[in-house]
Chain A
Amino acid sequence: MKGAVIFLTVLTLFACCSKKNDSPIVWKSIEKELQERLILAEDGETIELPEGHYMFTRTLSLDGKKRVTLRGKGMDKTILSWKNQTEGAQGLLISNGYNIKLEDFTIEDAKGDNLKVNDTNGIILRRIRSQWSGGPKTENGAYALYPVLCTRVLIEECVAMGSSDAGIYVGQSDTVVIRKNKAYWNVAGIEAENSKYVEIYNNEVYENTGGILVFDLPGLTRYGHSTKVYNNIIRDNNHPNFAQKGNIVATIPPGSGLMILATHDAEISYNEIHNNKTAGLAIVSYELVAALSEGQEDAPGAVAGVQTVNNNFRQDTLYNPYPYRIRILRNTFANKHWFPSLNNEVGKLLAWKSFLNPPDIVFDGITDPKREDPEICLGDNGKITFINLDAANNFKNLSKNPAPFECFKRNPYLDMKL
């Protein structure tokens, strides 16, 4: 025992010291010069960021520019940190731009969002690492990479870590590609919210609370539809939820692989959805989210669960709270866990209704009364554990039989090989 401890001590000291020998980080400030250049930049200009560690105290912003590129020397070489931020809610802010490109650097430790891009037509984020260096914490900013109200968005080969909301979050945007990224240790790995024409593929999304979320929420400037999620690895998204209570992602049960909420025209195919302990894939209406929140609302100082959900959603006449035309094709599911995460309502419900066998696919069974067929179809996903909660009827017709949702029986053309 003694020997083991001493051995460990020596090992730890060694590991620690050998790391320290990598010469300490020298932080430099290029804040004023860089901000000046971003303000004065001419359309079409490329601004090179040198190798090194740079500390910023205020939001760095690029506004109203066309075809400007901001390029570092690589995500391990050019590091921009807002650890000492005293002003502004974002690290880097891009606004009102046209064809803006950010490449090859790291953004760290902003007080709010690390990178926000708004009202921009044409934005490319390529090989950007965006993270909170202390790992997952509630005090971290909300979003690592956050384009909102944008058109033509490409996010590729980026890394997002530590967000107290979503790592890669695209909101209220049109024509979006999110590919070949890594998202881990966030509350939500990748989230597309109220966005249309979105493709999410070849990403690796792991060890978040929820892997990939496709949400449509009420009360916003625009609504989403037409999303494809394919060829992604979505695994081990079982991290405890560390979101600030009051935000909708604080309601995500740990162990959620992929979640489709109140959107329509979505295709989920060829994903590897493994070891997400509560549910591999959930298809949920906003009615369920709102219903789960009821009763919690009046609890004094309630901070748990879904109390901040917008219960006025029925007043929003442009909003449809039901998912429809959702196709789930040729995904592979596996789950080594026996129990869902039990510290939330959904987890408890699933533990009860799908005992010792958390579902690969769960559907709340709440459908649009105006729509005869929700057109939710499952095809060729191998042997899956399925559960239709029939929550609309208080679980009366709860069913574990996926057959009514098998789409190849309903539409043979879907099975055609080209």
Chain B
Amino acid sequence: MYRRALYILLLAAAGCSTKREEPVHITEEALPPPTGYLLPGREKLSEYGFFNGVLSRLQPADNVFPYELNAPLFSDYAFKKRFIYLPPGTAITYHPNDVFEFPEGTIIIKHFYYPADFRKPDENIRILETRLLVLEGGTWKALPYVWNNEQTEAFLEVAGHQTHVQWTHHNGTVRSVNYAVPNMNQCKNCHLRGDKIFPIGPLARQLNKTVNGKNQLLHLASLGILKNLPPLHQVPILPDYDDPTAPLDARARAWLEVNCAHCHRPDGPAKTSGLHLTADVIRPFELGIGKPPVAAGRGSGGLAYDIVPGHPEKSILYYRITSTDPGIMMPELGKKLVHEEGVALIRDWISSLK
């Protein structure tokens, strides 16, 4: 008899302690949508006039130029199309190792999209978002535009957005992700240097690439929109981390630069960590080799050092890029999925270190 009572007692006690573990039902409501604020950009993407004809075909209008990067940031396998708008008669100024200098009024335009089948990348495309970086009054601002389901227009959403995407992957498997469009503050998370927003991609070493049989930088210079380009042999080049013919070390450092170094640099938001991952870092300690964490919390995974040469399984850096737990994973934003190819590359690289 009293065994049963004990059981009930235990059950009751358990009921108490797990009270807060019940499934959470959330109702929408409460705060009215904010009104009366000045919007930081135009309400619709079409209002800028970047594209001719049907908006979703992305046919550039005058003064809008497409460009590509050698090593793009991983964003949950999204495809990207990049354009730059320059005010008529203006040009970009070359810089050997920093972001190019842009004229007032420049707008950098980046579309994120998924083809329904990655093996047919030009068919059945769904554009999710378009991010603008606008240079106005000498400072950059970042604006996220979210496309409607009809693919006829994109609207400014300062608070970002979430949407479900499904596609057939390169290997034929069906994949999906709850895709997140960043809010305006999250844009800054990556684009901030010191206390100002800067573009990340348009660097000499990223743009030094052959596109349609022509060197992209030479092409931009021949259009008269890139000044001070030195002879090509003097221009640095970042390898494509997906290119298996490039040296392992260079590929890994390229991957770390584009996926980590926008924060992990001496003037970036992750400066407090002392871990710096731009491709030009030489000191092993700065790169994380034998470096203990500073404020990693449970992100350390019980491991002692950011990188233990020869041992990816003992390296915090590897642990964090393989995680999708928001409290552990790196990068902190723009990632719901693990970049399998990138993770394999970093694993091989750490294994190769002595």
Contacts and interface: CB of A to CB of B under 8 A. Distances in A.
Interface of A: 1-2, 5-6, 8-9, 12-13, 15-16, 19-20, 24, 26-30, 32-40, 42, 50, 52, 54-55, 57-59, 61-64, 83-89, 93, 95-96, 110-113, 118-119, 133-134, 138-143, 148-149, 164-165, 171-172, 217, 219-221, 244-247, 297, 301-303, 307-310, 312, 315
B1 interface: yes
Given A5-B9, A111-B327, A244-B298, A40 B34 contact: yes
Given A220-B272, A246-B303, A308-B300, A39 B9 contact: no
Contacts of A35: 158-160, 183, 185
B289 to A, nearest CB: 11
Contact of B188 (A19, A63, A84): A63
B20 A63 contact: no
A35 B183 CA distance: 8
Contact of B185 (A12, A61, A134): A61
Contact of B326 (A36, A87, A301): A87
Contact of A164 (B27, B31, B298): B298
Interface in B146-186: 158-160, 162, 178, 180, 183-186
A221 B305 CA distance: 19
A38 B178 CA distance: 24
B32 interface: yes
A92 to B, nearest CB: 11
Contacts of B40: 40
A12 B9 contact: yes
Nearest to A303: B302
A55 B293 CA distance: 31
Interface string B277-315: 000000001000011111111111111110000000010
Contact of B27 (A12, A27, A58, A171): A27
Contact of B158 (A12, A20, A40): A40
B223 interface: no
Interface string B18-32: 011010111111111
A405 to B, nearest CB: 32
A39 B185 contact: yes
Interface residues on B, range: 35 or more
The 8 closest A-B pairs by CB, nearest first: A142-B297, A246-B300, A111-B327, A40-B37, A61-B185, A33-B31, A35-B159, A245-B302
B25 A27 contact: yes
Contacts of B290: 312
Given A13-B12, A33-B159, 6 more contacts: A30-B29, A40-B158, A64-B195, A88-B333, A164-B297, A246-B300
B8 interface: yes
Contact of A32 (B15, B159, B180): B159
Given A133-B20, A246-B300, A12 B26 contact: no
A17 to B, nearest CB: 9
12 contacts: A2-B5, A12-B13, A34-B31, A40-B39, A55-B24, A87-B336, A95-B188, A111-B326, A111-B327, A142-B298, A247-B296, A301-B314
A59 B16 CA distance: 30
B332 A88 contact: yes
Interface centre among B32, B33, B34, B39 (most CB of A within 10 A): B34
Nearest to A315: B285
B48 interface: no
A142 B296 CA distance: 8
A301 B313 CA distance: 10
A312 B12 CA distance: 53
A339 to B, nearest CB: 28
B30 A30 contact: yes
Contact of A12 (B1, B16, B292): B16
Nearest to B33: A33
B20 A134 contact: yes
B297 A8 contact: no
Interface in B190-212: 192, 195
Contact of B30 (A54, A140, A244): A54
B27 A36 contact: no
Contacts of B271: 221
